[in-house]
Structure 1
Amino acid sequence: MKLKYTLALAALAIAPAATAQTWIHDTISTEAGYLKNVYYSLENGSAGTAAADNWHIGFSTSRFSPSIIANSADKGVKLYVIATDTTLFGTDLTAKLADSVTAHPMPLYNSNTTWEMGAFNQTAAATYGWSTYDMSTHWLSGRAIFGLITGADSFQVFISRKETTPASSAPVYVFKVAKINGTSPVTKTFNVSASPYAGKYFAYYNITTDAFLDREPAATAWDFVFSNYNDENVVFSNTQYKVFGVINNEKLKVAKVDTTDQFDNLNYSAYAYDTLNNSIGRDWKASGQSGVTMTDSLSYFVKVNNGDVWQMAFTAHNSGSAATQPGLVALKKRKVYTFVDTSTAVKNVNAALSTVALAPNPAQGGYTHLIIDAKKAVSNVMITVADINGRIVYQEQKNIQSGFQQFPIRTGNFSAGMYMVNIQGEGIRNTQKLIVQ
């Protein structure tokens, strides 16, 4: 039995491609050196811009996400674990940073396939990336000191804890920063649930200016961001290569279609879609002696958060070092399906839910917990876990009570990778992404 997380025709019940709109042409500019991030909505065009190099650390605003990212692409951040004895914070850790660079010359980087695995999560020095998970409080506690090299200076960073309760004011991060020699130590408390960070994926911090930054538009306002990022698959001299491309909003689903057929004749319901952040990525262009060229046979079908499906193709690009209009991207797009909710049952989806989350995520110690805050009791709720190929690896039926509760899911026999956790019942339809390392 398979549970499909791809956009098959029967799964979507979508209309034929003949309903597609005409092509719309659009351009965006990331400016010289790609030093502007551009957040883009297929429905509305540019959703906002932000300086690419004004931050060092990004903290997830999700209550139960452990993700903390580093700006290695545009700020040149190099991140290393330098101590697992957290009492050493504030002492001179210059030698320990040098030892870490020698022993592990490849710095820690953000994953480019999921927002859930930031640079601070990419270490086995602690059992849960930068932290361990407290099953009773649901808080995260820091278990490692990091060395953060900005290029101009070096710092020691200790993320002390992430407070995930109470729900009314969480999450709150408490972290410490000092120069690598232990001087100028400070302790910061960062409430990322407060305005202006609420409803966004990350809140940001500049370690050299001691400034908290609001850089993103609301998560519901954009589909993907044009940005530099470090490519996990291209490594030179112990450094992941910096590339320019497209990183998807976490909820986007994309089918990449490379065919010589005319774009207007493609059947968008015939292709498999994935949820990887770099499913659009960087290979829609190529650099050569004649400059940047587009792949004429390549287009993308994109299912956005409201259920609409768009077709998109890139038509031109100027590199960040171009003499005129550097960082320009031209594309064409058309909506090939407009979602119409005609189901009474769908209109009541999640009427019984306040909060759904997985914690810890990535799973820790062979387990994760499905955390549900229900508005009312619901019987016979089906919990299903499927891998990215749709193969069901876990399924169980539960009765959910009103209020806050958690259900353990054993992951010890799951292969490493990404899974989709689906919760369905009367007034409940929710899907969560789970990482198993």
Structure 2
Amino acid sequence: MNKLILSITLLSYAYFSVGQVINGTADMGAGYANDVYYSLTDGVVQTSSNENWDLAFSIPTISGEIRINDGRGAKLYLYPHDDINGWATVDTAGLNEWNPLYNSDEMWESTAFNQYMADILDQGWGIYNTITHNVLGDSIYILETIDGNYKKLYINDLNTTSGIYTFVYADVDGSNEKTATLDKASFAGKQYGYFSFVTDSVVDRDAPMGSWDLLFTKYLSRVYNQVENQIVTGVLTSGFSGNAKAENVDISQNNWWNYSYDSTINLIGYEWKYLNYQTFQWELTDSLCYFTTDTNGAVFKLIFTGFEGTSTGIINFTLEQLGQLSVEDVDLGIEELKIFPNPARDQITVELKGENIRNNMEVQIMNLSGQVVRTERIDNLHFHQTHVGNLEPGVYLISIGNEDDKVVQKIIVQ
């Protein structure tokens, strides 16, 4: 579980500007047929059908995470009897006794296809080649698609130079074999590119990375008192934010700084509502609110106010901006700070403005586990560039300052 060292370390120089309460709505449609991408500052960014895809291929990373549409019933099984060399003789006898593979609902990077990794080069579905830098497939899978059909498939490779995934699939008896490709370049700026076995085609359905904070969706999750994972309707976060859950509290209070912020994407999740089995009506969990941040460091309080269920798929909530992480109260002489581009691929520029900027400052880049991955001294007090091209794509915290005071912002490396 990743912990964001954000709220406590920034207390000495955060200021609070209580804003108006905004009434928000996410309309998923009847049967929760749509995913709703929501920005804390801009509202609904995009609404996309969640019934038009089976596989989601990671775009920013080189390791090739691949998710399944488990929220719509897709199931994945690793073929236990042979590797890719046994493609022609696949036998699904005993399939019901095989263990299904699931996406994690705690982090986007842990997927159904990336299970059973033996070492750092093993990506689950294939092995990273240290010479060609491509990922070469070695595993056969059986996929139950969202429309209930079964396919056998293997990921042939991910060419990290061209950015093209190549995969082969067929009916389980070997008929209707096809080879398909998904080109990352067609999904630039997106988190995933999608593929549908119903239409045998790629699908572009994601909102751009960095444009949304909350995803109202259906997904597979552990449910209390249930042996098997269950499909739930709830909220997953982008992974670029910190989130805190305040239970059994007076939800009128705004003491967001008292909580530990977590980047786990299912922290908001689905348990803010429950089904009353006496009235068979959905009810909201009492005395519960959430605190969540956007990519710019603004802190919001989220309170759910309505859930209409499968008939309409409408979810109502309120949002209130409670504070904004700022550099104004930091004793570094910084009057204005810019970090660009963000997201970045190769390098970032730190631009500082102020008449009395302190000496002896450094730039530190940390991952969301708090591990420092880069430290550099700032020699030019107004302008500093640092290389990020060799960092694993994802979200990082960048710290500018000295031992006594620091300014922390988030950056996205693509």
**If the TM-score is normalised by the length of the shorter chain, which range does it land in?**
0.7 to 0.9
Q: CA deviation at 1:227?
A: 0.9
Please say if 1:136 is aligned against 2:131: yes
Structure 2 unaligned blocks of 5 or more: 350-361, 378-384, 402-407
Counterpart of 2:194 in structure 1 is 204
- Asked if 1:187 corresponds to 2:179, the answer is yes
Query: Retained in 2: the 8 A contact 1:65–1:116?
Result: no
Q: CA separation in 2, counterparts of 1:336 and 1:136?
A: 50
Q: How is 1:390-429 mapped onto 2 (pairs within 5 angstroms)? A: none
- Correspondence list, 1:129-168, <5 A: 129-150=124-145, 152-165=148-161
Residue 59 (1) aligns with residue 52 (2)? no
Report matched runs for 1:334-413 at 5 Å: 334-340=320-326, 347=337, 349=339, 355=345, 373-374=346-347, 387=369
Evaluate the alpha carbon distance shift between residue 424 and residue 317 of structure 1 in structure 2; reply closer, same or farther with a 3 A threshold: closer
CA offset at residue 352 of structure 1?
12
* Equivalent in the alignment of 1:260: 249
Residue 242 of structure 1 aligns with an amino acid whose one-letter code is I
Closer/same/farther in 2, CA of residues 64 and 424 from structure 1, 3 Å limit: farther
Match of 1:243 among 229, 232, 235: 232
Q: Quick one: distance in 2 between partners of 1:12 and 1:319?
A: 43
Deviations 1:316-346 (A, max 9, x none): 11111x4xxx211111111112355668597
Matched, 1:283 2:271: yes
SS class of match (2:70): coil
| Aligned counterpart, 2:359 | none
Structure 1 distance, partners of 2:12, 2:364, is 20
- C-alpha contact 1:350 1:429 (8 A) present in aligned 2: no
Residue of structure 1 aligned with 2:203, choices 197, 205, 213: 213
- The residue that corresponds to 1:122 in the other structure is 115
Q: Secondary structure at the match of 1:88?
A: helix
Aligned residue identity for 1:87:
N
SS in 2 for 1:276: coil
Quote how far apart the aligned CAs of 1:141 are: 1.5
Any idea what the Cα deviations from partners look like across 1:152-191, whole Å, max 9, x if unmatched? 32111111111222xxxx4211111111111221111211
Further displaced range: 174-183 or 334-343 = 334-343
User: Offset of 1:268 from its aligned partner?
Assistant: 1.4
Q: Which residue of 1 aligns with 2:102?
A: 109
What is the identity, as a one-letter code, of the residue corresponding to 1:148?
L
User: One-letter code of the match for 2:207?
Assistant: P
Displacement of 1:70 in angstroms is 0.4
Structure 2 residue 308 is matched with structure 1 residue 313: no
Q: 2:298 and 2:15 mapped to 1: Cα distance?
A: 11
| Cα root mean square deviation, aligned | 3.6
CA distance 1:345–1:57, change in 2 (3 Å): farther
294, 310, 318: which is aligned to 1:304?
A: 294
Distance 1:375 1:315 in 2: 41
CA–CA distance in structure 2, aligned partners of residues 67 and 155 of structure 1: 19
The 1:384–1:276 alpha-carbon spacing in structure 2 relative to 1, beyond 3 Å, is: closer
Q: 1:314 to 1:425 in 2, by over 3 A?
A: closer
Superposed CA deviations along residues 179-235 of structure 1, whole A, max 9, x for unmatched, are 1111221111211222xx211111110012102111111122211111111113558
Deviations 1:329-385 (A, max 9, x none): 111111112355668597354679953xxxxxxxxxxxxxxxxx4589xxx976766
Corresponding residue for 2:74? 77
Amino acid at match of 1:212: V
Structure 2 length as normaliser, TM-score? 0.79
* Identical counterparts, % of pairs: 27
User: What amino acid is aligned across from residue 274 of structure 1 in structure 2?
Assistant: D
* C-alpha contact (below 8 Å) 1:254/1:300 kept by paired residues: yes
Please list the CA deviations of residues 6-46 of structure 1 after superposition, one character each: whole Å capped at 9, or x if unmatched: 42163572213xx2112111222212211111111121211
Closer/same/farther in 2, CA of residues 12 and 256 from structure 1, 3 Å limit: farther
More moved, 28-37 vs 205-214: 28-37
SS of match in other structure, 1:98: coil
- Aligned partners of 1:422, 1:339: CA distance in 2, in Å? 13
Residue type matched to 2:103 in 1? N
- TM-score, normalization by structure 1: 0.75
Mapped pair 1:34 → 2:19:
no
Quickly say closer, same or farther: Cα 1:429–1:179, change in 2 above 3 A. Answer: same
- Maintained 8 Å contact 1:81/1:125: no
CA 1:318–1:221: 2 relative to 1, 3 Å: same
Q: SS at 1:47's partner residue?
A: strand
